[in-house]
Amino acid sequence: MTDTIPLPPTPVLETARLILRPLEMRDAPAMQRLFPQWEVVKHLHAGIPWPYPDDGAVTNAAMSLETRARGEKFYWVITLKGGDDEARGRIDLWPFDGQLQDMRGFWLDPQLQGQGLMTEAAEAVTRYAFEVLAWPFLYLTNSTQNHASGRIKEKQGAERLRVEPKDFMSGPGERQVWILTREAWLARQGN
């Protein structure tokens, strides 16, 4: 699937409660307020600067927008439908590179967690990957300690392939590697 680069422009995606819109530089202040919380980063891959620098979100947004400009990844900010358009989280998607076996990442404002919102966002992005981009599968990963993230994959119909060592912000641990095939996802949709 490496031949899918450059990717098409990032579309706006809508769910029952969310609008996912392309990341912009104006989202950096909201990201800077929400992202540097241990609850958000503890299960993410090691290497995120910590303590998070004051310009962390600006730097990350600039890098993300450069990657986006090369057509390599999609970056959506998660906003509440009928809300103030403020970014409350993020979801990223990228094509299989033949190695990493990881193609999607997400995080959400802790104040909004536990309401099924990331399940909605993940479904919208997955629908886009399978129905519009016609990708045949998504490789997905999470820390074995990250039960909420694993549960979202399970609910989507993903199959756990293996567990392997991985360093996280919280220290050395293990990650689960999953595959979500278009067939399994479609079967779960009742299609």
Ligand X SMILES: CC(C)(COP(=O)(O)OP(=O)(O)OC[C@H]1O[C@@H](n2cnc3c(N)ncnc32)[C@H](O)[C@@H]1OP(=O)(O)O)[C@@H](O)C(=O)NCCC(=O)NCCS
**CA 6 – CA 4 distance, rounded (Å):** 6
Residue from 35, 74, 106, 130 binding ligand X (CB under 6 A): 106
DSSP string, the chain: -GGGPSPPPPPPEE-SSEEEEE--GGGHHHHHHHS--HHHHTTSBTTS-SSPPTTHHHHHHHHHHHHHHTT--EEEEEEETTS-----EEEEE----SSS---EEEEE-GGGTTSSHHHHHHHHHHHIIIIIS--SEEEEEEETT-HHHHHHHHHHT-EEEEEEEEEETTEEEEEEEEEEEHHHHHHHHT-
The yes or no reply on residue 118 touching ligand X (CB under 6 A) is: yes
Q: Which is nearer to ligand X, 61 or 78 (CB)?
A: 78
Q: Does 90 bind ligand X (CB under 6 A)?
A: no
Of 15, 60, 64, 146, the residue at the interface with ligand X (CB under 6 A) is 146
Instruction: Work out which of 28, 117, 129, 177 binds ligand X, going by CB under 6 A.
Output: 117
CB atoms within 10 A of CB 36: 18
User: Interacting stretch for ligand X, rule CB under 6 A, among 40-48, 58-66, 166-174, 180-188?
Assistant: 40-48
For ligand X, which stretch binds (CB under 6 A), given 7-15, 54-62, 113-121, 127-135?
A: 113-121
Options 93, 108, 124, 180; binder of ligand X; rule CB under 6 A: 108
Query: Least Å distance between CB 147 and ligand X?
Result: 3
Are 125 and 153 contacting, i.e. CB atoms less than 8 angstroms apart?
A: no
Is position 31 an interface residue for ligand X (rule: CB under 6 A)?
no
Decide if residue 103 touches ligand X (CB under 6 A). no
- Is 107 a binding residue for ligand X by CB under 6 A? The answer is yes
Of 9 and 165, the one with the shorter C-beta distance to ligand X is 165
Residues lying near ligand X in the complex (CB under 6 A) are found at: 40, 43-44, 106-108, 113-119, 142, 146-149, 151-152, 155
